[in-house]
């Protein structure tokens, strides 16, 4: 692609012999075509209609587009030497030939990762994970990249931890809820590292709510208030928890040592309250905004328990995303996309 641009910007004197050769080749092609019995085909008309020029034009546009994308990468990534930048360009082009994502798209994900403080040496792996997560979650690679960048930044996660969380979400989501669950988890970002420590449990709660069609924004708002009450503690909530025979300080500690057990313990205690008084208790403990999420969780505690068990069973090592990506790679659409990426290069 870079060679194409160099050829196009060569001086007229250097380009003239090339044009003469092209002209001779076209004339010879036209002569052979007429002698083939296919009739009088005017190559000139083909050229006017861009039939022959289109591949060259497309190649130039792709080269210019990639150059622009890499300029964005250069603004976001610190390269110590020109060779490092050239290697990054080459790595991105290589990825585009193995993944169903254009070089420009991968470059944009790399730039987004850099802005989230992903180390330079991890950026291509970050982009590869984003593309594969996009396939598994039925969303764009860019959306996945933005989510992963948010998790790394807000939850202070490493890339292996991000990959483990996405694996948990994929297992919990089955075939159609992954994106909704991931959206709920991403909305927990303002809670910071505290939410990161319980990210699997948040995914389990999100999966439970998504399975009963609770809107993502309602679920996220309620989950956030729930988590704040359990992790921040405070005298204001102590009395309400004591009424359920729960110690707020122990709950705060439990959210660090055993988040699954602590969440289940609290919700089980609330579920034992007289149904007519549950709404008041929930409001007192977690605020009015939590009702839309906590009430459905109480009604589906068995499902929540099952989902909490899943995130505790090592599902982050199940390889489900890689398997879905491998299966998708066998489709015709993916093969065509990867072939197009190779041609553009």
Across 42-51, 84-93, 100-109, 141-150, least confident range = 42-51
First to last CA, the chain: 5
Q: How confident is the model at residue 90 (pLDDT cuts 50, 70, 90)?
A: very high
pLDDT at 339 over 90: no
CB 89 within 8 A of CB 121: no
Residue pLDDT, tens place only, 260-276: 999 999 999 999 999 99
Across 65-79, 171-185, 278-292, least confident range = 65-79
pLDDT at 144 over 50: yes
pLDDT at 340 over 50: yes
Q: How confident is the model at residue 209 (pLDDT cuts 50, 70, 90)?
A: very high
Cα 308 to Cα 168: distance, rounded to the nearest angstrom: 10
Q: How confident is the model at residue 338 (pLDDT cuts 50, 70, 90)?
A: low
- For every residue of 141-200, DSSP letters joined together read HHHHHHHHHHHHHHHT--HHHHHHHHHHHHHHHTTT-HHHHHHHHHTTGGGTHHHHHTHH
Backbone torsions φ then ψ of 126, nearest 5 degrees: -60, -45
Across 175-184, 310-319, 335-344, least confident range = 335-344
Cα 16 to Cα 18: distance, rounded to the nearest angstrom: 5
Quick one: pLDDT at residue 5? Answer: 43
pLDDT at 25 over 60: no
- Burial-class residue 85 by CB neighbours within 10 Å (0-12, 13-18, 19+): middle
SS3 for 102? Answer: coil
Q: How confident is the model at residue 10 (pLDDT cuts 50, 70, 90)?
A: very low
pLDDT at 236 over 80: no
Quick one: pLDDT at residue 313? Answer: 73
Cα 70 to Cα 84: distance, rounded to the nearest angstrom: 12
Average confidence score pLDDT of the chain: 84
Q: Give the percent of the chain with pLDDT over 90.
A: 62
pLDDT at 343 over 80: no
Measure Cα distances from 30 to 35, 41, 70, 275 in Å. 9, 7, 41, 86
* Domain extent listing, the chain: 174-317
Q: How confident is the model at residue 238 (pLDDT cuts 50, 70, 90)?
A: confident
Quick one: pLDDT at residue 6? Answer: 43
Q: What is the mean pLDDT of residues 266-295?
A: 95
Quick one: pLDDT at residue 155? Answer: 94
CB 196 within 8 A of CB 163: no
Higher pLDDT: 314 or 99? It is 99
Q: How confident is the model at residue 195 (pLDDT cuts 50, 70, 90)?
A: confident
Across 1-10, 41-50, 201-210, least confident range = 1-10
pLDDT at 34 over 70: no
Q: What is the mean pLDDT of residues 273-289?
A: 94
Cα 288 to Cα 291: distance, rounded to the nearest angstrom: 6
Cα 193 to Cα 173: distance, rounded to the nearest angstrom: 23
Q: What is the mean pLDDT of residues 54-71?
A: 72
């Amino acid at each position: 692609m870079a060679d194409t641009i160099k050829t196009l910007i060569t001086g007229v004197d250097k380009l003239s012999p090339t044009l003469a050769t092209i002209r001779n080749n076209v004339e010879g092609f036209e002569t052979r075509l007429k002698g083939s019995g296919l009739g009088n085909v005017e190559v000139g008309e083909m050229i006017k209609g861009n039939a022959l020029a289109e591949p060259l034009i497309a190649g130039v546009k792709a080269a210019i587009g990639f150059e622009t994308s890499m300029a964005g990468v250069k603004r976001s990534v610190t390269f110590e030497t020109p060779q490092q930048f050239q290697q990054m360009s080459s790595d991105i082009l290589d990825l585009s030939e193995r993944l169903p994502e254009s070089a420009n798209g991968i470059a944009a994900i790399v730039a987004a990762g850099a802005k989230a403080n992903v180390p330079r040496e991890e950026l291509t792996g970050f982009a590869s994970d984003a593309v594969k997560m996009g396939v598994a979650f039925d969303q764009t690679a860019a959306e996945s990249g933005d989510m992963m960048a948010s998790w790394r930044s807000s939850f202070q996660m490493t890339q292996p931890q991000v990959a483990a969380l996405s694996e948990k979400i994929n297992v919990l989501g089955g075939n159609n809820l992954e994106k909704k669950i991931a959206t709920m988890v991403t909305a927990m970002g303002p809670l910071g590292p505290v939410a990161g420590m319980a990210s699997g449990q948040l995914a389990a709660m999100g999966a439970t709510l998504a399975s009963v069609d609770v809107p993502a924004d309602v679920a996220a708002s309620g989950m956030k208030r729930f988590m704040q009450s359990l992790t921040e503690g405070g005298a204001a909530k102590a009395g309400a928890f004591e009424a359920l025979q729960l110690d707020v300080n122990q709950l705060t500690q439990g959210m660090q040592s055993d988040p699954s057990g602590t969440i289940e313990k609290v919700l089980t205690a609330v579920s034992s309250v007289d149904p007519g008084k549950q709404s008041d208790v929930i409001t007192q403990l977690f605020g009015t905004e939590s009702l839309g999420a906590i009430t459905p969780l109480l009604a589906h505690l068995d499902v929540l328990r099952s989902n909490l068990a899943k995130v505790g069973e090592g599902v982050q090592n199940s390889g489900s995303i890689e398997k879905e990506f491998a299966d998708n790679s066998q489709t015709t659409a993916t093969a065509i996309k990867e072939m197009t990426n190779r041609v553009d290069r």
